[in-house]
Structure 1
Amino acid sequence: MLLKNSAQTLTTQLAARFGQRIRDRLLAPGARLPSVRLCAQQQKVSPSTVVGAYDMLLAQGLVEARKNRGFYVREGQNSALTPMDTAQAAIKSAANAKGGMAELPPPVAPVNATALIRSMFHGVSDKPQPGAGVLPTEWLQNTFLASALRQHCSVQAINSMSLQYGEPAGDLGLRRALSNRLAHIALHVAPEHIITTLGATHALDLVSRTLLRTGDYVMVEEPGWAVEFARLNALGMRILPVPRRADGPDLEVMARYCAAYAPKLFVSVSVLHNPTGFSLSPGSAYRVLQLANQHNFHVLEDDTYSHFAPEHATRLCALDGLQRTIYVSGFSKILAPNWRVGYMAAPKALAEALLDTKLLTTLTTPALLEKAVAWCIDQGQLRRHAERVRTRMDAARARSVKLAVAHGCTLAAEPAGMFGWVDTGVDTDVLAQRMLDMGYLLAPGALFHATRQASSLMRINFATTQEAQFWASFAKLRDEQR
């Protein structure tokens, strides 16, 4: 709240508030500041105070004014189009020429995913955060992680694991445990075709660096994970956004992309998709694999949320038998985020190349933590823990949905898994900035698109949106914005 009896003027206080959020990456490059009129209403100050604050931000080089459009967080000194921007422009041009593909939005700066990641670790307040991508720590607390570590903490074991590099592919005991676990989802893969990684994100990066070269086209589901868009963009890939439907990706768009651009890879969260919660249908999975075989591209299946999903859910890798598919998952969401234990299961023909890339980037991965995860799997501790979390999530989901609907929201997708895709009826980029004043960090819909665009959607974490206090604050500010 701005203080009228402060030694600083209201203009200086308001400029300082926005400036700090920009520096903390809570306002990403390209984000639009509230209009002068709206900001004045929200902060209960005069329009001239807002104009003065925005002028101060302009003078500091933190924002830029765009004629007839408002004020935006400055992108930086390099205004050249990124590889993703160039690809978007090329796709749009080709689509218009062919006349058969829906027109894509004009190239604009991609969402700053590092801002999203930084905000995850930034202490906005001690309140439950609706935009969080992780479970509350109290949900993950248990006694068996300490037991798992103690199994391997003798002096001899510590020396053995710490004074030399581990196995390049990862701890054999963990890979055997993973081989057995994957069989439960009908994915039969030998331990030698499993490679451990520093979390699922590392696995996704290793696959991209192995299979792709600068300028290659990659199909990615949209809406989707902002970090995946940004990661591929940073590697110089040309992103082809594929609309995600309830039963899977838009197959017609995929087919046209394949014919026009010969993409090398399709990245999919097939089960409990982030942010919608959608899961792939068998029919769509079959057609995706047909396209992969016909047009000679690989499918990277990100099953990060596998611990929240039923074993019988349709997985592309299980249907394909790891012919053109690569399976990626990890334990950060369900077990121990800071252990950073992930893995991938790959076709035999790709396993050695992926292992080479791992060696070039990280050499090996920590054996102690991998052995501890293997113990959790073998002893049934992970399975029982996941069952408890799923039961708790089911109850949280029901409460969160009830509150969301009661406060005037609609669900844009059937509630499932960890996240809800909620339609608020207002621009959630603007709403997110106002909610920061109340101590809440939102995940606006713009974060989940390949290029920044206004959206009335937001992703909520069912585990952190069970309090009526949040929804009351949300509804009040949303109604003021209308």
Structure 2
Amino acid sequence: MTEGGRTAAVMAAIRGRIAARGLEAGERLPSIRGLAAAMGVSPSTVVEAYERLAADGAVRSRPGSGFYAAAAAPPPTLAEIGPRLDRAVDPLWVSRQSLDGEPEIPKPGCGWLPAEWMPLAPLRRAARALAKAEDAVLTDYGATRGPLALRRLLARQFAEEGLGIGPDRILLTGSGTQAIDLICRLLVRPGDVVLVDDPCYFNFQALLRAHRAEVVGVPYTEAGPDPERFAQAAAAHRPRLYVTNSALHNPTGATLSPRIAHRILNAAAAHDVGIVEDDIFAPFEPEPSPRLAALDGLERVIRIGSFSKTLSASIRCGYVAARPEWIEALIDLQVATSFGGVSPVAAELVAGAVGDGAYRKHVEALRRRLARARREAAGRLADLGIRPWLMPRGGFYLWCSLPDERDAAAVARAALREGVVLAPGDVFSVSRTASQRMRFNVAQMGDARVMPVLKRALQAPDA
């Protein structure tokens, strides 16, 4: 690690202790020599870190006495956690525009399928069956792990993918996002480094910064994260976690190769890095690709997912599959933060709909429909000079390069003025190196307004 990296590590450790109230306002910081010995750095490194913290107002220097924790500051907003970049098109902006926009507004930048693409018939049958459920399902808190029927269904699904675990190692949560939030509460402390793909799903970044983690990106290739850069980052930063998608990576649509999967697991083991594998896009694959969770046997990998992409984003239900001791700790956290787990109503609806024979046929038909939509969207985008980075095996994303080095943020702003929500590349990139890229949801591009607005946005003066 460089001298600057060692100084940053000392600063992060002190900030973490202050944030976690391990150091109260006015309390004396550890002695310079004592902290240097504890962290394996030189006393001059600790002095430099303390001086920088004093310049930032996090600690106070008292000549002849030492350094002391400053008075507690107001809680930071998400905008203040990490650098304040272009708020007009940052990850939270993309999410809010997509979620708050009127239903009739075209949203090629959003991350879900149109309502008419979803399995409404199985959902309605499950809702009718729910009306006849026992009174407790409609009125009581649920069991801490979630209903057994849905956990058994998930265990059978995992077994088909080569991950043989019992339902006791599965915890149902309020959503896939809540699953990651609980994992961060359990394993990440302020100042910890967490690795993500670059580019990655933008809400990974927002959520990790809400937990005061330091987010470090690993370049993503057509076959997975760059294994050499991953190993280098793991050695240099000693990260607590690595958060990724394996199947049909978001936003690129790439597929993890077996060779890279093994190299990532070996590097993670060598540097004691936990892995969170978000498998939400697995149902869209034509054939299964390698899964870190299956290859690792859930030793250091935690698998999460939800049903929002293939069933319903309205029925909030996610899951975690992990080591028994982690499941037990996550149960305690979920009880502490939401008193119980997933809503029994939501879990029963999901179990009823997913267990319906029509659901499997729906997913198969969805794959075929998306394959057509990808081809059609790629052709229409090509007419505007927009080219996919690769053609994915499945899913609904195309990660594209804009023509003539157009700035994607400016294109997104121009399109929004005409009522179309886009997702510019830099909101996915930790390093902000995707300014000429755009993620398109091919299922949301059927509206006749999308392509004319996109064409005009590309020609906007500031694009």
- Range class of TM-score, shorter chain: 0.7 to 0.9
1-structure distance, mates of 2:449, 2:296: 47
Alignment partner of 1:277 out of 253, 258, 262? 253
2-structure distance, mates of 1:81, 1:124: 25
Q: Which amino acid aligns with 1:383?
A: R
Deviation digits for residues 388-439 of structure 1 (CA, Å, limit 9, x no counterpart): 2112111111110111112211112223421001111300111111112322
Gapped regions of structure 1 (runs ≥ 5): 1-76, 86-106
2-structure distance, mates of 1:148, 1:454: 43
Deviation at 1:285, TM superposition (A): 0.4
Conservation of the 8 A alpha-carbon contact between 2:122 and 2:356? no
Deviation at 1:141, TM superposition (A): 4.8
Conservation of the 8 A alpha-carbon contact between 1:258 and 1:295? yes
2-structure distance, mates of 1:302, 1:430: 30
The equivalent residue for 1:19 is none
3-state SS in 2 of match to 1:351: helix
The equivalent residue for 1:328 is 304
Alignment partner of 1:440 out of 399, 404, 420? 420
The equivalent residue for 2:330 is 354
Alignment partner of 1:133 out of 91, 111, 114? 111
Deviation at 1:181, TM superposition (A): 1.2
Alignment partner of 1:393 out of 360, 364, 370? 370
Q: Which amino acid aligns with 2:346?
A: L
Structure 1 window deviating more from structure 2 (376-385 vs 365-374): it is 376-385
Q: TM-score, normalised by structure 2?
A: 0.78
Structure 1 window deviating more from structure 2 (414-423 vs 235-244): it is 414-423
3-state SS in 2 of match to 1:284: helix
**Equivalent residues in 2 for 1:99-138, closer than 5 Å:** 112-123=90-101, 126-138=104-116
Q: Which amino acid aligns with 1:195?
A: L
Deviation digits for residues 9-46 of structure 1 (CA, Å, limit 9, x no counterpart): xxxxxxxxxxxxxxxxxxxxxxxxxxxxxxxxxxxxxx
Deviation at 1:480, TM superposition (A): 4.4
Deviation at 1:163, TM superposition (A): 3.5
1:151 aligns with 2:129: yes
1-structure distance, mates of 2:143, 2:76: 42
Q: Which amino acid aligns with 1:390?
A: R
Deviation at 1:303, TM superposition (A): 0.8
The equivalent residue for 1:92 is none
The equivalent residue for 1:74 is none
1:378 aligns with 2:355: yes
2-structure distance, mates of 1:335, 1:374: 11
CA 1:385 to 1:393, structure 2 compared with 1: closer, same or farther past 3 Å?
same
Structure 1 window deviating more from structure 2 (158-167 vs 329-338): it is 158-167
3-state SS in 1 of match to 2:221: coil
Structure 1 window deviating more from structure 2 (278-287 vs 128-137): it is 128-137
Deviation at 1:159, TM superposition (A): 2.0
3-state SS in 2 of match to 1:381: helix
Alignment partner of 1:305 out of 277, 281, 287? 281
Identity of aligned residues (%): 34
2-structure distance, mates of 1:252, 1:271: 21
CA 1:341 to 1:277, structure 2 compared with 1: closer, same or farther past 3 Å?
same
Conservation of the 8 A alpha-carbon contact between 1:112 and 1:230? no
**Equivalent residues in 2 for 1:115-264, closer than 5 Å:** 115-123=93-101, 126-154=104-132, 157-264=133-240
1:450 aligns with 2:434: no
CA 1:124 to 1:267, structure 2 compared with 1: closer, same or farther past 3 Å?
same
Alignment partner of 1:473 out of 438, 453, 460? 453
Conservation of the 8 A alpha-carbon contact between 1:184 and 1:311? no
Deviation at 1:127, TM superposition (A): 4.4
2-structure distance, mates of 1:79, 1:209: 18
1:410 aligns with 2:390: no
2-structure distance, mates of 1:301, 1:143: 31
Number of residue pairs matched?
383
1-structure distance, mates of 2:200, 2:193: 17
Q: Which amino acid aligns with 2:381?
A: A
1:463 aligns with 2:455: no
Deviation at 1:309, TM superposition (A): 1.4
3-state SS in 1 of match to 2:459: helix
3-state SS in 2 of match to 1:396: helix
Alignment partner of 2:292 out of 297, 306, 316? 316
The equivalent residue for 1:363 is 339
3-state SS in 1 of match to 2:197: strand
3-state SS in 2 of match to 1:339: coil
Q: TM-score, normalised by structure 1?
A: 0.75
1-structure distance, mates of 2:316, 2:448: 34
Conservation of the 8 A alpha-carbon contact between 1:108 and 1:451? no
Q: Which amino acid aligns with 1:373?
A: V
3-state SS in 2 of match to 1:186: coil
3-state SS in 2 of match to 1:268: strand
1-structure distance, mates of 2:450, 2:272: 48
2-structure distance, mates of 1:363, 1:451: 38
1-structure distance, mates of 2:122, 2:356: 10
CA 1:83 to 1:474, structure 2 compared with 1: closer, same or farther past 3 Å?
closer
1-structure distance, mates of 2:349, 2:339: 20
